[in-house]
Every structure is written in structure tokens, then in C-alpha cells.
Amino acid sequence: MAPSQSSELYPWTHLAEPYKKSLLAIDAGQDDYEACARWEVDGVELGTGPSVETVFRSPGIFPCTVTVSYPQRPLSGGHEDDSPETSGSLATVTHKFEVTVKYVRREIRDLTDRDRETFFNAVSVLQRVPSAVGREIYGDKYYSKDYFNRLHLFYGGHKDCDHWHDGAGFVTSHIALSLMYEQALQSVSPSIALPYWDFTIEGMLYDWRDFRTSSVFSDDWFGKASPRNVLMTPSRGRFGFVPVMANATEYSTLHNPYGLLRSPWNTHPEPFLTRHDRLFGYKNNRKPSGCKQYRDAARKDTWMLLTESMNAGAHGHIHELLGGAWSSDWSGFYNRTEKIILPFAHTIVPLMKYLWRTEYLQCETTCDFSVSWADCRCTLSAEAVAGQTPSEVLESSGVLSDAAGAFFYDEDLKLVDNLTDEQGHAHDRIPGYTADETKGIFTEMLRLLSTPMRIGSHYEGTSTNDVTFWVLHPTMDRLWHLNRLEDVNGEGFDETWRDDHFCYGHNPADVQPFHDLFLGQATGKGGHDQQRRAMRDERDAAKESGGEEQAAGAGTSGGSSGCGSIAPPKAYYTNQMLYELLKPDGMSIPYMYAHFEWPHCDVRGVHLRGREPRR
């Protein structure tokens, strides 16, 4: 399974995949059948003949040599590295070349049945085997799904701000997280390359009513996207009844009141993965991002604009679409016209978190499972809002900020999107409304945002508990590869990463919780001098942009510390270091993508590729 021809955007001539059979062959003429070829890879002789098969056991650069002997005839079509010599009646030519070995990520529908089963089976292992046990069996790269759930929740669920979303750090953190997950899968089965789910296929070929009928949601793949049972959990197939970690209070600083490994604001008590196709009783009228959103992202000419697009248009509403939200308190939505109220319903969960982070919306810290959800839910704190009007609460919480983009409706269901003045303060009197009408608008808006709710897994801090999470972000990473490999990253692309974000995790020098993800040491007998030089150059670039302390060990495994010695401290990457080390044409990154083709977009006249390859 070699990469497709569109992988010519990458700079390597000879490509192979680890743990897959690779064929090395000479392109000999018809008259050269008497030639004898002897093959070596990384200093190890493989055998003789016009071709040999081998299996590379790791990504990297492997030096290869083929020595061909002919009966008094030199090999035609020589190479600058070829060295012919004549010995008796034989002419000998030695040809040296290098094979670049990378994991190749493919769309999940393009995998062979065997490769797809291998991937799903490894995911199942991570879901069932805890980290402590798995690391004893599979090694130090193994982490369980609960570890990843805790990590994602920790950085996305803090009260101060979201350290992994709504900023440029979203891109580097989630792509590094995906690589960490991929390596955990590889500890179980080393041939796995993390597949991606190109949901632009669903976005282009389906509408919002039927995209959940896509074959990817079969029981043997991802499981039902909108299960019809009271638990709202897939109940059949390999991902039926995926558990949520219970008794997580000793495992994670963040959890919900029932001690489940969920966001603190999600007081749902059922200990299973949940999916729902509705928002507060209304059928969700959105679908996954399509070709246009991806084309627009691919054509961004600055890093900051690209990250904004990946946070928004390219990422789309996929978490909301697969997670959903519901509530037993429907009174806030009675007598509302679905077509009118749905746009606001899409904003409720994101805006609700503004109230939670500013302590206006408070949740119980502990509830026994015998306590019903109705008695263990987040409510608007009377103490916190005391002495403030609804408009003041909404303004001070950030709900009315430009970043939130809030809007609402009046009693006649007319859109009201001018809730603030030019200085960003809530209007005492919204233009066109009386003071009492203005107060009523803000009061109703605050009431709806603080309506108790339950949120599906994909729409909250442990979206990582859903297998679909792990195939989403490689799709955006693939788009980033295209953006960087095409000529846009020449003089026309502004790589400036502004360091003015208020939330730690989104500035270039901010440290991310990742280490030892990249190819930092040459392997094999041959030494791989070129690989070492390339990786050293990439680490030096990361060092210049990320700082001495972190770069010192970037991408290295540290090796054995020796008997009785102390292992060196882990070296964590900054965002800027990740930006450098994730360059798709570098040798630090252990993977590539099979192709950059979107035929379903091309037939609709939406072309994502529009530039010449960078040479």
C-alpha cells in the first residue's frame, strides 16, 4: 500500500511504511536477465536477485545499496553514485540510495479491512486496559483512554480559561495529542497509522437530515450517531456502552458531581458515552463542514488566520452534531418557533460556559447516585448575581463580548443582535426598545443560558471518550500539511505567531504537556547520518524559537539511564517548537498523508489544491 501519486508534494523519492512489506527492485532491461543483484539495507545483506522484499521496523531514513554484476555489460542508465568496475568477465555497478520510512495516514474508508480492524481493535484495548497495566504489557508509550480523557479535560475544563481551544494553541495541542494517541495505539500494534475521517464527504454528499446514516456510523465502525434509547448511548457493536470512568475523584482534579470523568458543568449521571442528534428538543439542523470551508482554510496566507479557520469553519460544529444537549426543563423553549430559536440554541452550551467560568453558574461538587439529576444540577447562584441586573451579569461574564458573538430575540421573535454599545457595554435601552423591553430581553436570555442541561460526550471536555474524536483532528492536520507543502508557505505566507492571547496555551512560548513524540535519534547499524543532520537542524530551529531548556531534549527518548542512575527530566515542547517539529517535509515527524485529493469536492467545482508544489 504505497502512498498515492499526489504525495509528490513531499520531498522524498523512495518511500516505505514501517511494518509493511516493501519491494526493492532494479529497473533492468530485457537483456539484463543474467545480472546478479546483491541488496543491503542499513548494512544488513538481504539477499540477491532483481528484487527483494523487506520490512522496515521503524520510521526514519535507511541507507540502501544494490550491487549489480553483469556478464561484460555495464548497467545502463547509471547514477552519479554508481561505481562500475570490471572483474574478469563481470562488470559490477554499485548503486546507493536512501529509503524514507514514514507511517502513512489514510482516510478510514481507504483502509483495507484488515488494517481497519487492527485500528479498531487497538482502540478497544485502550478503552479497556488501564495505563498502569498497559504500560507493563505494551511499554512506556501506552496510555489508556481514561488518561487521554483526563488530559483533554484538564486543559479544556479549567475555570480560568480554555487552554486548548479558541486560540492558536488548539492546532498544535490537538495534533500533538493525536500523535501521542497514535503512538499509544502503535505500542499495541506497531503497524497502525492513525486514520482520518474526512467528514467533508458527509458534509458534501449528505444533508443535515441524513448524514448520520453514513456507513461510518455502522455498528462495526463508529456505532450509531443518534442512538434511540433512554441512555442515548450506542448499544451495539464494538463501541456499545463505552464506559465513562466512575469514582474519578482520586484520579482527576476535574470531574462532575457524581464523580464521573466528565466536565464539572455536565451533571449527567449515566456512566456511558452519550450521543444525541438534538439540541433542547429540536432536531439539529447543521451538518459537518464541507468542501468550501476546507478550501477557504487551505487558502489562508497567515498562520493566525489559518488557526482561526481551523477553530471555526474547518472544525465546524462536529462536536455539537455528535454530542447534542438536552434538558428536562423545556419551559424556556415553549411557544418558540423552531426555525427562529434554533440559531440561539446552537449558542447555549458555549455561552453557558462563560457563566460557569465566572462563578455565576454554580454546580454541585458532590452528589450520590441516589440523588436525581433534577436535584444535582447547575443553577444560577443567587449570591453571585445579587445586586446585579441580568445585563450586568451577562456583560461581566463575557457573554456579551465580541468573542462570544451573542444575540437574542424579543417577544415577537425578532432578532436582536445589537445588545451592546460601541464600547462593548450592555445597552440600558436597546435601540428600538423601551427600557422595560430591554430588561425583559436580557432577563430571558440569562434565564435560558442558565437552564439546567445535560450534554453529550462529544460536546464537552471528555469528547476524547468517543472514538470519532481521534479521527477528526488528523483531517485538519492533513489540510495543514497541504497548506505548508504548497507554495503558500514561501514568501507569501506569514508564519508570525502573535503572543498576545490572554489564555496560557495559545501563545508561541507556552509549554504543552507533550514530550518524546518525534524522531530524535537515529536507529540501526548504519548510523543514518543524513537523518541525524536533518533532525539536528530541526531541533536547532525549534531551540531558537522555543527556548534552551525545552529544546535540549526535544524529540529524543533519553535512552536507558543505567543501573542506579537517575533518568533525565522530560523535556516538554512549547507551541513554537511543535510548530517547527510538525513540519511535514521534515524528518522529525514520523508520519505523512497518503494523498491530497478531494475528488468529491472537485466534482462540485470546489478545488482545495491550487498552487504549485514548493521545490
Segment 92-112, tens digit of pLDDT: 899 999 999 999 999 999 999
Closest by alpha carbon to 397, among 440, 433, 346, 450?
450
Least confident of 65-79, 235-249, 397-411, 436-450: 65-79
The verdict on pTM exceeding 0.95 is no
Distance CA 430, CA 414 (A): 13
Higher pLDDT, 154 or 377: 154
Does the residue 316 lie in any domain?
yes
Closest by alpha carbon to 405, among 320, 325, 347?
347
With a CB cutoff of 8 Å and minimum separation 6, the contacts of 398 are: 354, 357, 358, 404
Does the residue 9 lie in any domain?
no
Q: Tens digit of pLDDT for each residue in 436-485? A: 999 999 999 999 899 888 999 999 999 999 999 999 999 999 999 999 99
Angle (nearest 5°) at CA 587 between 597 and 58? 90
SS3 291: helix
Q: How confident is the model at residue 491 (pLDDT cuts 50, 70, 90)?
A: low
Distance CA 404, CA 401 (A): 5
pLDDT of residue 327: 84
Q: How confident is the model at residue 554 (pLDDT cuts 50, 70, 90)?
A: very low
121 and 268 inside one domain: yes
Q: Tens digit of pLDDT for each residue in 320-366? A: 999 999 986 655 554 556 667 788 889 999 999 999 999 999 999 99
Is 4 a residue whose pLDDT tops 60?
A: no
CB-based contact 583:185 (threshold 8 Å): no
Higher pLDDT, 540 or 247: 247
Domain limits for position 264: 108-465
Does the residue 183 lie in any domain?
yes
Does the residue 278 lie in any domain?
yes
Distance CA 82, CA 89 (A): 19
Is 372 a residue whose pLDDT tops 70?
A: yes
SS3 36: strand
Q: Which helix (H) or strand (E) holds 591?
A: strand 591-593
Is 83 a residue whose pLDDT tops 90?
A: no
Between helices 390-397 and 348-357, what is the axis angle to 10°? 90
493 and 594 inside one domain: yes
164 and 291 inside one domain: yes
116 and 167 inside one domain: yes
* Rg of the chain over all Cα atoms, to the nearest angstrom: 28
130 and 264 inside one domain: yes
Asked which of 73, 101, 129 is the last residue of a domain, the reply is 101
Longest dimension (CA), the chain: 106
Average pLDDT, the chain: 87
63 and 115 inside one domain: no
Q: CA 163 from chain center: how many Å?
A: 15
205 and 281 inside one domain: yes
Place of cell 540477491: 48
407 and 437 inside one domain: yes
Place of cell 534552551: 548
The one-letter code for the residue type at 90 is: L
Angle (nearest 5°) at CA 320 between 315 and 326? 170
Least confident of 295-299, 421-425, 457-461, 540-544: 540-544
Asked which of 101, 127, 145 is the last residue of a domain, the reply is 101
Q: How many residues does the chain have?
A: 615
- Pull the grid cell for residue 556: 529524543
Higher pLDDT, 26 or 103: 103
300 and 272 inside one domain: yes
Does the residue 8 lie in any domain?
no
pLDDT of residue 96: 96
pLDDT of residue 427: 97
- Pull the grid cell for residue 286: 447543521
CB-based contact 355:432 (threshold 8 Å): no
8-state DSSP, 302: B
pLDDT of residue 336: 57
With a CB cutoff of 8 Å and minimum separation 6, the contacts of 490 are: 614
Distance CA 230, CA 385 (A): 35
pLDDT of residue 610: 72
Is 411 a residue whose pLDDT tops 80?
A: yes
Is 2 a residue whose pLDDT tops 70?
A: no
Q: How confident is the model at residue 551 (pLDDT cuts 50, 70, 90)?
A: very low
Q: Pseudo-torsion of CA 414, 418, 420, 426, nearest 10°? A: -10
pLDDT of residue 341: 77
Does the residue 475 lie in any domain?
no
- Pull the grid cell for residue 51: 528484487
CB-based contact 194:471 (threshold 8 Å): yes
The one-letter code for the residue type at 441 is: I
Phi and psi torsions of 148, nearest 5°: -65, -35
251 and 370 inside one domain: yes
Is 526 a residue whose pLDDT tops 80?
A: no
Helices (H) and strands (E) in the chain, counts: 18, 18
- Pull the grid cell for residue 275: 450521543
88 and 115 inside one domain: no
Distance CA 139, CA 431 (A): 64
8-state DSSP, 46: E
Does the residue 611 lie in any domain?
no
Asked which of 42, 71, 101 is the last residue of a domain, the reply is 101
Q: Measure Cα distances from 23 to 42, 55, 56 in Å.
A: 15, 9, 11
Between helices 169-188 and 303-311, what is the axis angle to 10°? 70
Q: Give me the number of domains the chain comprises.
A: 3
Angle (nearest 5°) at CA 267 between 239 and 223? 15
Between helices 169-188 and 131-138, what is the axis angle to 10°? 60
Does the residue 313 lie in any domain?
yes
272 and 399 inside one domain: yes
CB-based contact 133:125 (threshold 8 Å): no
SS3 174: helix
The upper half-sphere exposure of residue 308, i.e. CA atoms within 13 Å in the direction of its Cβ, equals 12
